[in-house]
Structure 1
Amino acid sequence: MEEQQRYFSRELLRWYLDNRRDLPWRRQHNAYYTWVSEIMLQQTRVSTVIPYFERFIAKFPTPTALAEAPEEDVLKAWEGLGYYSRARNLQAGAREVKEKYSGVVPDDKAAVSSLKGVGPYTTGAIMSIAFNRSEPAVDGNVMRVLSRYFRLHDDIAKPATRVHIEHIARDLIPDGHASDFNQAIMELGALVCTPKSPACLLCPVMEHCAGRLAGEETLLPIKTKAKPPKPELRYAALIEGTGVNKGKLLMRQRPESGLLARMWEMPHILVPKQMSVAGLPDAEAQDMLRGALHQEGLTVLPIERFMDAEHTFSHIHWQMRVFRCSVAEYAVVPEGYAFIGRDDREQYAFPNLFVRLLDAYFAE
């Protein structure tokens, strides 16, 4: 086992130093950059994150700048990445850094791990990548690589398995090379030891990979399937303004807390479960939408179906049927609502689903 471990650490590090990608957050050992990039990279491709990261750092170059920014600006900069609670937690963590550590991310594991939204993986990534501390940073890529290399049959969805793999990863870190080594495992998982079609012949550690030698490289890691997201059918109102608001849409802001808190959206309603399998005929759906919005103090007249759209959150799958509607010209816009035109969009943060719907509308 020791020779297998030494071989892995030596050859992987050598490969990484020759093949690592030039990524903006790798160009300097900046703990804030590492922190921001790791939060952005959760469940998002590197190619998608790069422009977001560059724009975000240009707008909020330090923890203090992020801490002092209006939340709406932070959400707008995050728009399109999804998982907006991560942006809020990142800003909350930045405020802690400003208040407790004079705006500098501390070189202290306990302090970093106590920051809002920073879990064991992000703590390990910051401590190892930015400060070169011998701390494991075990994400999905690392669990996949080590499960295959050591032929581990434990379910990686279980917390105990993560803890076990963290112990293995810690023992693999070469003295003085934690930063490069942890990034090397992530890089191998992203580029070579991929989920469905691992490129074993290109792998720098293939010679001693127990999973490959056993012919199990595509069977590992073992992971129980997550519970599928709950489907929900929703009817939405694309409300076109009149008079001075012609060419604009009436949007509403979501509540202060909960899913997509304080973001902007088209008014929409949840269709009762017993009606949601196939949905109602359009005429009945429009009546339901009109009646529900009337109870919110909004008088609209649905005209026709505009389009269907969908979006999956971690636990919910929204199926959205959107109806084009007209509305009376308001002297005063109802509280929590605003007429938003093409040129106003930069002032408001929208969830991904409504970004797509707005793009479709303004492209007409």
Structure 2
Amino acid sequence: MGDDISSTLLGWYDKYARSLPWRSPPGEPVPDDPAWPYRVWLSEVMLQQTTVAAVKPYFEKFTRIWPSVEDLAAAPEDDVMAAWAGLGYYSRARNLVKCAREVAGQGGFPRTEAELRELPGLGAYTAAAIAAIAFGERAVVVDANVERVVSRLFNIAEPLPAARKIIRERAEEITPDDRSGDFAQAMMDLGSGICTSKAPRCLLCPLQGECAGLKAGEPERLPVKPPKKPKPERTGTAYWIERDRHVWLVTRQGTGMLGGMRALPDDGWSARQDGSEQPPVSAEWQDAGTVRHTFTHAHLALKVKYARIAATPGGAGEWWPVGDIDKAGLPTLFAKAARLALSAD
């Protein structure tokens, strides 16, 4: 059964593979290009918890500015964080720099899944994907799309996360020795375009004849997910501090939410607690309104206040030209807060 599934799916992929800037055409050997593993790695890190449509412009920007892993390794971390702004999950960007520097120091990417796992920011999925796609190594690649396809294909009714062990075993059974990179990408394409979370397009699926979930009559209910825990509602305040058409920006601590990013000063809110509502300096504060943002672990209502001052606030920070605020690399939350402050001022 495994050989039949892999050959059928690879035949489908040969005809219908998505054309993406980090992919080589199906069926072609691994490119003999030192930049190829870099492009695969960069795309896989960017695609973690992010859509293909969102990643494309960032991938093109990064590979234009830093065409090799050595170029990225030599880049100032602030520049990389600024280029990443808006893509979210900022710990990925911090690990991107760490990983690039380690790879450059080693003289290139390791080829095996086990060695790749040792690099900063690379988990089981990412290491397997790079080994298979960048180096042609046989590796079992299981992301959310593959998880969904396999659970339906084998009608795995055990709820997540316990079902993941069974899903991986079944994925191992159908992963071919040859073209495992193409097979992994075929599974991803199938999951994202046909075997979708809602309203799967089963009539178009090349594996419909093998799908036990379809034969059981309820493929859409798989994989069985545990009930979602409600996200807490947090409140905080951001402060637009202006002097001589410059705004005071700080760099957030390297760990935690939006770590290492330029931002407006705030009152210490986090996913675990509300902010103190204590401003960083004494001033005649005006209310600009509230922006709302959703993180992985919490919803946030962020009040925005603005004031003009004559002195420089205490602590580390920098005066940034108001007219160039779009070049500061603010994460999405603080970019929204800045727009609100500018519209109210």
TM-score, shorter chain, exceeding 0.5: yes
Shift of 1:300: 1.8
Give the structure with the larger helix fraction: 1
Q: Is the 8 A contact 1:232 1:270 kept in 2?
A: no
Query: What RMSD over aligned residues (CA atoms) do the two structures have, in Å?
Result: 2.4
- Aligned to 2:285, the other structure's residue is in SS state strand
- Aligned to 2:284, the other structure's residue is in SS state strand
Q: Is the 8 A contact 1:263 1:348 kept in 2?
A: no
- Aligned to 1:24, the other structure's residue is in SS state coil
Q: Is the 8 A contact 1:299 1:327 kept in 2?
A: no
Query: 2: distance between equivalents of 1:171 and 1:342?
Result: 57
Structure 1 counterpart of 2:18: 21
Shift of 1:234: 0.8
- Aligned to 2:259, the other structure's residue is in SS state coil
2:89 to 83, 92, 100: 83
TM-score, normalised by the number of residues in structure 1? 0.85
Structure 1 counterpart of 2:207: 205
Q: Is the 8 A contact 2:21 2:56 kept in 1?
A: yes
Structure 2 counterpart of 1:352: 332
Shift of 1:49: 0.5
Matches within 5 A, 1:87-126: 87-99=93-105, 101-102=106-107, 104-126=108-130
Name the aligned partner's letter for residue 227 of structure 2: K
Shift of 1:56: 0.8
- Aligned to 2:102, the other structure's residue is in SS state helix
* Deviating more after overlay: 197-206 vs 222-231: 222-231
Structure 2 counterpart of 1:282: none
Q: Is the 8 A contact 1:143 1:156 kept in 2?
A: no
Query: 1: distance between equivalents of 2:200 and 2:142?
Result: 19
1:309 to 263, 272, 291: 291
Alignment: residue pair count: 334
Query: 2: distance between equivalents of 1:170 and 1:342?
Result: 54
Structure 1 counterpart of 2:157: 153
Query: 1: distance between equivalents of 2:15 and 2:254?
Result: 48
Matches within 5 A, 1:42-191: 42-99=48-105, 101-102=106-107, 104-158=108-162, 161-191=163-193
Deviations 1:289-330 (A, max 9, x none): 4xx22xx4x122112x3121122222232111212x323212
Q: Is the 8 A contact 1:138 1:162 kept in 2?
A: no
Cα gap change, 1:70 to 1:270, in 2 (>3 Å): closer
Q: Is the 8 A contact 2:257 2:270 kept in 1?
A: no
Cα gap change, 1:341 to 1:189, in 2 (>3 Å): same
Shift of 1:271: 7.4
Identity of aligned residues (%): 37
* Deviating more after overlay: 338-347 vs 182-191: 338-347
Matches within 5 A, 1:189-338: 189-241=191-243, 245-246=244-245, 248-269=246-267, 289=277, 292-293=278-279, 296=280, 298-303=281-286, 305-323=287-305, 325-330=306-311, 332=312, 334-338=314-318
Q: Which runs of 5+ in 2 are unaligned?
A: 25-29
Q: Which has the larger radius of gyration?
A: 1
- Aligned to 1:250, the other structure's residue is in SS state strand
Write out the 4+ residue segments of structure 1 that deviate beyond 4 Å after TM superposition. 270-273, 360-364
